Amino acid sequence: MMQFLFQPPKSKTLLSMIPLLLQLRHHRQPMKIHIASSLRNLKPSTRMNMLDCFPHHSFTSFMKLGWTETALMAGAKDVGLSPSIVGSLSRKEAALVEFYMDDCLQRLIDKIDTDGSLKNLTPSDCISKLIRFRLEMQAPYISTWPQALSIQAQPVNVPTSFKQRAMLVDEIWHAAGDNASDLDWYAKRTVLGGIYSTTEIYMLTDGSADFRDTWAFLDARVKDAFDLKKTIQEAQYLAEAVSTGLGNTFEEFVGKVFRR
């Protein structure tokens, strides 16, 4: 039975993250972005054409169309395909969000691999910088991001959402120089997942210039997490935030926030 430094909340959503962490812990290999599961059943040639529907330069259309089937159809038209091909996807909106998440993760990995300055930063500064870099990718789509989060929070999509976030958290910790082999490995990744999720939610309602308040919030959360006197309490708080952030109540939470 795995032991934690804190008592995790009794949440199936949070507990479902444990197998993913175990897989990452014991079988970690150089990261390769996976193809969204909705695309795997298509013929290879058709699948590659579908993937071409989502190049980064066309993501701007999602700001107007949202994370919708309409956006997928527009993407198909952009590369000369019939919009009817979207009917081949079983999880249309989810496939769109998952592809975007994969694209962002790949850009983060490229940043880690090419930015030599990261090695000169303290672990806390490295983590803050990488979380900010990742969340800044969502800034152009902030008005429609609650919709993307709601899609991720749907029960059928939660396993993939957790897997993508677990991969993100693991990459950031490794970039910060963490190669722990003890039980802290699990607690650290749960804490960092909570920091990422709470900052992401904070960003949704931040009206400050260039999300200045969000980055201050992020820096404070990272600082608290590295304060040994607060580690256990912070882990408990952030673990609960993780379960809320992608739990069944998240769609309701976002709805309440944006009805203010």
Statement to judge: residues 192 and 107 lie in one domain? yes
Statement to judge: residues 101 and 219 lie in one domain? yes
pLDDT tens string, the chain, 260 residues long: the values are 333 333 333 333 434 444 444 444 444 444 334 444 445 555 555 555 555 544 444 466 667 788 888 887 777 777 677 777 777 767 778 888 888 899 899 999 999 999 999 999 999 999 999 999 999 999 999 999 999 999 999 999 999 999 999 999 999 999 998 876 566 777 888 889 989 999 999 999 999 999 999 999 999 999 988 875 455 455 555 555 545 544 444 444 444 433 44
Please check whether residue 2 lies inside any domain of the structure: no
Statement to judge: residues 58 and 142 lie in one domain? no
Statement to judge: residues 146 and 198 lie in one domain? yes
Please check whether residue 190 lies inside any domain of the structure: yes
Q: How far apart are CA 182 and CA 174, in angstroms?
A: 15
Please check whether residue 85 lies inside any domain of the structure: yes
CATH code: domain of residue 127: 1.10.357
Please check whether residue 150 lies inside any domain of the structure: yes
**pLDDT score of 137:** 95
Please check whether residue 4 lies inside any domain of the structure: no
Statement to judge: residues 82 and 97 lie in one domain? no
Statement to judge: residues 136 and 98 lie in one domain? yes
CA 79 vs CA 58, 62, 143, 221, 234: distances in Å: 10, 16, 26, 42, 47
Statement to judge: residues 141 and 172 lie in one domain? yes
Is the pTM higher than 0.95? The answer reads no
Residue whose pair of structure tokens reads 């991720």 in the numeric block: 152
Q: How far apart are CA 256 and CA 254, in angstroms?
A: 5
Statement to judge: residues 46 and 107 lie in one domain? no
**pLDDT score of 240:** 54
**pLDDT score of 254:** 42
For helices 17-27 and 158-175, angle between their N-to-C axes, nearest 10 degrees: 40
Please check whether residue 105 lies inside any domain of the structure: yes
Residue 52 domain boundaries: 42-89
3-state SS of 174-189 is HHCCCCCCCCHHHHHH
CA proximity to 211, closest of 219, 221, 203: 203
What secondary structure does DSSP assign to 23-42, as a single string?
Answer: HHHHH--S--PPPPGGGTTS
Statement to judge: residues 104 and 62 lie in one domain? no
Statement to judge: residues 121 and 59 lie in one domain? no
Please check whether residue 1 lies inside any domain of the structure: no
Please check whether residue 6 lies inside any domain of the structure: no
Q: Which of 54, 89, 124 is the last residue of a domain?
A: 89
Statement to judge: residues 56 and 176 lie in one domain? no
Statement to judge: residues 17 and 47 lie in one domain? no
Q: How many domains does the chain have?
A: 2
**pLDDT score of 225:** 84
Query: Which two tokens mark 178?
Result: 């963490």
